[in-house]
Amino acid sequence: MPAVPSSLFEPLWDQFCALLPQRPEFDPTHPLGCHKRRIPDETVFRLVIEALVHGSGYERIATAECSDWTIRDRVKQWSSLGLAAELHRISLAGYDRMIGLDLDDLAADGCHTKAPCAGEKTGP
């Protein structure tokens, strides 16, 4: 069972895919002119979404075709391109269009407790 229904995943992937730079299937700088095929970005993106939904580490989400190191490396690459902030903005905008966000009235939880080591330096 997928972590996110395809009706939500596909539009999110389409938006994210448009932000990604084009990369060749093989690394052209490899000294022998060949290398293993690059794991598709969609596969890695799907695994990252699963990790976020389930709240687990990449080593638990990794599959035989995509290792946890590949996921980490790709997330670092995407992060260095600034795609995380852009994806966050796109996701919020899409959610606002579909469901509606009302960010004017937000609740915050907090608590005040007595300082166990109170003294003159702690203030009033």
Please state the domain extents for the chain: 6-101
State pLDDT tens for residues 77-120. Answer: 998 988 878 877 877 777 777 777 777 776 777 777 776 666 67
Q: What are phi and psi of 37, to 5 degrees?
A: -65, 145
Confidence of residue 76 (pLDDT cuts 50, 70, 90): very high
pTM reported for the whole predicted model: 0.68
- Tokens representing 28 are 């052209």
CA dihedral 53, 58, 59, 63 (to 10 degrees): 80
State pLDDT tens for residues 2-54. Answer: 667 777 788 888 888 998 988 877 777 777 766 777 889 999 998 988 888 88
